[in-house]
Amino acid sequence: MPEKNFYITTPIYYPSGKPHMGHAYSSIIADVFARFKKIDGYKAYFLTGTDEHGLKIQREAKKNNKDPKKFCDELSITFKNLTKTLNLSNNDFIRTTEKRHYDSVKEIWERLEKSGDIYLGKYSGWYSVSDEAYYDEEEIIDENGSKKSKTSGSKVEWVEEESYFFKLSAWSNKLLKFYQENPKFILPVSRRNEVVNFVKKGLKDLSVSRTSFSWGIPVPSNKKHIIYVWLDALTNYISALKFPDTENKLYRDFWPADLHIIGKDILRFHAIYWPAFLLAAKIKPPKRVYGHGWILSDEKKMSKSLGNILDPLEIIKDYGVDQLRYYLIKEVSLGNDGSISLENLKNCINNDLANNFGNLCQRVFSFIDKNCDSKIPSPDKFNTRDKELSDEIIKKISDLKYMIDNQELNSYIKEVINFSFNSNKYFNDLEPWKLKKTNKVRMNTVLYCILNQIKSISILLYPIIPSSIEKIFDKLNLKKEELNIEQIKNLNLIVPGKIIKKSNILFKKIDNDN
């Protein structure tokens, strides 16, 4: 069987300030896909890291009276710690200040120069340091004398300097052809349409170097120019695979990337500039860019001045990491903006985790504890009702895989929660507490069937709430290697006679005035 490989990335974070909910969201989404693929027999490679160059970081460092490299060294650790706190399964954490990345950016620049896609000129126009983006006149608004980007609202400044340009204008038609031939390159469809319409209007050449600051990677042939931070940053996705060594196993196995998960604010860079740079450098573009929406707090963008910031680290401390992961995946519709609040978080934990799946586990485990000496009961023959229960999930496996492959996370989670609801119903309908007195053999079969469902639902929930599911697997005496989609079809995985280990309640109900 050929190896099945899957390469997924998150945007590399600007290491300035504290990690916030938007960072957490982008990363958790990517982790869910990476973990699903890992338990679906794929060799999955998941990359994240820090984007450390550019004027924004240089200015932040200066504000903090620090040398930019030292400033990044410190902050990069904060973001690396975030990957641990969020329980990400990333295989690598790249920093754009590493040598491997310099080598890769140098090569891509030289390829672009060689192909004739780069020329020297003069840039005059608007630039937002906060977005590290150039804007046209019609993309700017004047708010009480202060010029801002219409889309991001961030301040822009006028820039006039010698600059290298990338001939992006020559790529409009080739990009449109590429989008047409790869209809799922940009998802969701609304974002694809947005990009296609933008490119159809015709693209202008892109300034890809600056001379007015020094914090970045110099142009190899002209050191007074610093390479545009987005050309630098995007290249991280191939630097991590040891580009320019395109013969090494990592690169051969994983490029082109299967999925770049990004927020909608950085769509243009990933869906227009990135494939254009790659095509010009004779490198295959990634297979998909998925632009998720914004996390809003009480319907408004989170901001310090509005005082509505929900700090992911605080929430994890108070409610648990799986609780936050579950909530963000379940309640925010992936392609759209989504409002979150503490109130909704508590309701979601109580309704889905505590009352539904947690309750299923708790009642079955405690029933077995009291009535079967904590031992996994041995089943007799399964009847039609039992088979219906396990078949319900088995028959949906290919649909569930399709949902994951098309980033339909909300439909996926809805299905899984429904399985848990139906398992609770099975337990209620078959009343093992009555069978205890009338038909112990049947009681054992019913309990075994439910344990099997708990196993299957656990496998499906693992990508979303990994640490809770590992605990359930441990309770059931199942090995980590058995956390695999294929095992859903295995109706004999759980070994009768083994003791169900005792543990604390998995998902505590939260008091609403907490």
Please give the residue ranges that form the binding site for ligand MSP (CB under 6 A). Answer: 11-14, 22-23, 25-26, 51, 233-234, 236, 262-263, 265-266, 294-295, 302
162 vs 337, beta carbon nearer ligand MSP: 337
Interatomic CA distance for residues 446 and 431, integer angstroms:
9
340 vs 460, beta carbon nearer ligand MSP: 340
CB of 138 to ligand MSP, least distance (A): 23
16 vs 420, beta carbon nearer ligand MSP: 16
* Segment 132-139 long-range contacts (CB within 8 Å, at least 24 positions apart): 132/54, 132/55, 132/56, 132/229, 132/230, 133/230, 133/268, 133/269, 134/206, 134/207, 136/204
Q: Is there a contact between 87 and 470 (Cβ–Cβ < 8 Å)?
A: no
CB of 373 to ligand MSP, least distance (A): 49
18-35 as b/e, with b when 16 or more CB fall inside 10 Å?
ebbbbbbbbbbbbbbbbb
229 vs 447, beta carbon nearer ligand MSP: 229
The tokens for 434 are 């009555």
17 vs 116, beta carbon nearer ligand MSP: 17
CB of 14 to ligand MSP, least distance (A): 4
CB of 8 to ligand MSP, least distance (A): 13
Tokens 């359930």 belong to 472
Report the SS3 class of residue 142: strand
Q: Is there a contact between 447 and 363 (Cβ–Cβ < 8 Å)?
A: no
292 vs 442, beta carbon nearer ligand MSP: 292
Interatomic CA distance for residues 510 and 514, integer angstroms:
7
In order of 101, 102, 164, 401, 484, the CA distances from 244 in angstroms are 10, 11, 22, 33, 35
Report the SS3 class of residue 134: strand
Amino acid at 278: L
CB of 230 to ligand MSP, least distance (A): 7
Amino acid at 320: G
130 vs 411, beta carbon nearer ligand MSP: 130
153 vs 496, beta carbon nearer ligand MSP: 153
Beta strands in 137-294 (DSSP E): 140-143, 146-149, 157-166, 186-187, 206-207, 209-210, 218-219, 222-227, 259-263, 289-292
CB of 257 to ligand MSP, least distance (A): 12
40 vs 60, beta carbon nearer ligand MSP: 60
CB of 242 to ligand MSP, least distance (A): 18
Cis status, amide bond into 188, omega within 30 of 0? yes
- CB neighbourhood size of 221 (10 A): 11
* Strand bridging mode 295-297 / 338-340: parallel
Q: Is there a contact between 463 and 39 (Cβ–Cβ < 8 Å)?
A: yes
219 vs 262, beta carbon nearer ligand MSP: 262
350 vs 410, beta carbon nearer ligand MSP: 410
CB of 458 to ligand MSP, least distance (A): 28
CB of 7 to ligand MSP, least distance (A): 14
Count of H-run helices and E-run strands, the chain: 20, 18
The tokens for 305 are 């001045």
Amino acid at 99: K
CB of 262 to ligand MSP, least distance (A): 5
In the complex, residue closest to ligand MSP by CB: 263
263 vs 379, beta carbon nearer ligand MSP: 263
Closest CA to 208 of 109, 107, 317: 109
Report the SS3 class of residue 409: helix
